[in-house]
Chains A and B, each alone.
Chain A
Amino acid sequence: DTGVSQDPRHKITKRGQNVTFRCDPISEHNRLYWYRQTLGQGPEFLTYFQNEAQLEKSRLLSDRFSAERPKGSFSTLEIQRTEQGDSAMYLCASSAAVFFGQAYEQYFGPGTRLTVT
Chain B
Amino acid sequence: EDQVTQSPEALRLQEGESSSLNCSYTVSGLRGLFWYRQDPGKGPEFLFTLYSAGEEKEKERLKATLTKKESFLHITAPKPEDSATYLCAVKGYGGATNKLIFGTGTLLAVQP
Contact = CB atoms under 8 A, between A and B. Distances in A.
Interface string A36-53: 000011111100100000
B54 interface: no
A99 to B, nearest CB: 11
A100 to B, nearest CB: 10
Interface string B14-39: 00000000000000000110101000
Interface residues of A, number: 30
Interface stretch (A11-19, A69-77, A80-88, A109-117): A109-117
Nearest to B33: A103
B41 interface: yes
B100 to A, nearest CB: 6
A43 B102 contact: yes
A33 B43 contact: no
Given A40-B104, A42-B105, A56 B45 contact: no
B99 A48 contact: yes
A111 B102 contact: no
A106 B100 contact: yes
16 contacts: A4-B43, A33-B100, A35-B100, A41-B104, A42-B4, A56-B97, A91-B43, A102-B32, A103-B98, A105-B34, A105-B46, A106-B46, A108-B36, A108-B43, A110-B43, A113-B41
Interface of A: 4, 6, 31, 33, 35, 40-45, 48, 55-56, 58, 91, 93, 98, 101-111, 113
Interface of B: 4, 31-32, 34, 36, 41-46, 49, 51, 87, 89, 91, 93, 96-105
9 closest pairs, A vs B, by CB? A42-B102, A45-B99, A103-B32, A108-B43, A103-B31, A103-B91, A108-B44, A111-B43, A110-B43
